[in-house]
Structure 1
Amino acid sequence: MSAPKAEEIRAAVERHVELWNAGDKEAWLAHWKRVVPGEVTMEDPVGTPVKRGWDVMGEVWDASPNAEWKLGIDLLQVCGATGAAVIRNSGTVNGESAVIQSIEIYKFGDDGSLHTSTFWDLSAGNEYAQWTVETGEAS
């Protein structure tokens, strides 16, 4: 097995955003399971506990304010088996319109794994921010 090629990584991240914005959790999870046949881990954002496995990825979806939260790719670069994206997250936080920019790193392994590291400001103070600080494995 080998890590996906650059064009496959680009397509995977673009499809991730498309399915997220469509509000289709099952298709979103199925997409990532096709792309990542190995272990999936996530630090969202870096400094919070590592989330490991598909069950927790489903919880990521459930804990997010999906109905009113849309993603947009402002920049996507792929080098080797790693993709880096600047993502525009727009929606409602605590009843107010908000745009939060995040940086997302997708590192694919030759063993079929994916580790995602995201960078965003936890002080956004929404329910997801509280959930992500409390969920996962201590580092």
Structure 2
Amino acid sequence: MAALTPETVEKFMHTQVACWNAGDREGFFNAYRSIAPNGLHIEYVGAHSGDGMQILEGMWEQQRAAIDIEEVALIVIGDEAVAHNRNKVKGSDLVIETIEQYHFADNGTVSVRYFIKKPQG
């Protein structure tokens, strides 16, 4: 697999958030399958890590209906991307800040690390 361009990475990053917010399950998972055809690994820094598609399935089922994502910042350099997202809990003032680090490997795998700031209170 050829290296991805920064434009391709940026499009993926925006697409997965837009699909999440729209409740477009098929579009969300297709975005990940397209960008990571040979595997996805997700780590919740300081907690656990594992098979990314399984983690996304759980995330979708447990959190999708309750969370809208606001993209605060995105930086793409080479095969790396870092996003600052604000996860807004619907029907409340609760916001969960995340910094998300993505590494897109030439072999078609993607590694993601979520740094989650626990809400105060």
TM-score by length of 1: 0.78
Residue 53 of structure 2 corresponds to which residue in structure 1? 54
How well do the aligned residues superpose, as a CA RMSD in angstroms?
Answer: 1.9
Tell me the equivalent position of 2:79: 81
Alpha-carbon distance, 1:124 to partner: 6.5
Q: Does 1:33 align with 2:33?
A: yes
Of all paired residues, the percent bearing the same amino acid is 28
Q: Give the TM-score of the pair, scaled to structure 2.
A: 0.89
Alpha-carbon distance, 1:102 to partner: 0.8
Structure 2 unaligned regions, length at least 5: none
**Distance change in 2, residues 1:69/1:124 (3 Å):** farther
Aligned pair in 2 of structure 1 residues 53, 98: CA closer, same or farther (>3 Å)?
closer
The aligned residue for residue 9 of structure 2 is 9
Dislocated runs of 4+, deviation >3 Å: 122-125
Structure 1, gaps ≥5 residues long:
126-139
- Residue 67 of structure 1: which of 54, 58, 65 is its match? 65
Q: Which has the higher strand share?
A: 2
